[in-house]
Amino acid sequence: MTLYELGYNFAGIDDCWQLCNSGPHGGFHNASGYPIVDKSLFPDMKAMTDKAKSHGISPGWYGNNCHCHDSVCSEERCFQGDVQATIDFGFESIKLDGCGAERNITLFSELFNQTGKPVLIENCHN
């Protein structure tokens, strides 16, 4: 029996997907707040999530990560960028840590609700 057959159908990528220190002020968000992916490790996030879904797996990823300690992007544009990237890339869940500057889980929740797409939030710091 496989883990999937036992009901384990969520899989998430953890830290190190982002391109640290690539943003205009360091961190891993571009000027509009969209996260910058390390394409050498994850060349096509959307294709990856599409493949996971084709196998019945619900894909998730990790935000407000510890690897880069992005303390420079606390404005709402970064929250919006992370939410938009989650939707654009096809993720269905996000683990939100407390290592970076984006610590307002209520704002994340409100922004995800505005998309009309269900996204599971795993709150790792509140």
Could you write out the DSSP letters of every residue in 79-116? HHHHHHHHHHHT-SEEEE-SSSS---HHHHHHHHHHHT
Q: Which CATH number is 10-123's, of 3.90.110.10, 3.30.470.30, 3.20.20.70, 3.50.50.60?
A: 3.20.20.70
- Tracing tokens 């384990």 back to the chain, one arrives at 8
Using a 10 angstrom Cβ sphere, with 0-12 exposed, 13-18 middle and 19 or more buried, the burial of residue 105 is: middle
pLDDT at residue 11, as a whole number: 94
Residue-range domain boundaries for the chain:
10-123
pTM recorded for the entire structure: 0.92
Chunked into runs of 10 residues, the chain (126 residues) has average pLDDT values of 90 93 89 96 98 96 82 85 98 89 89 97 84
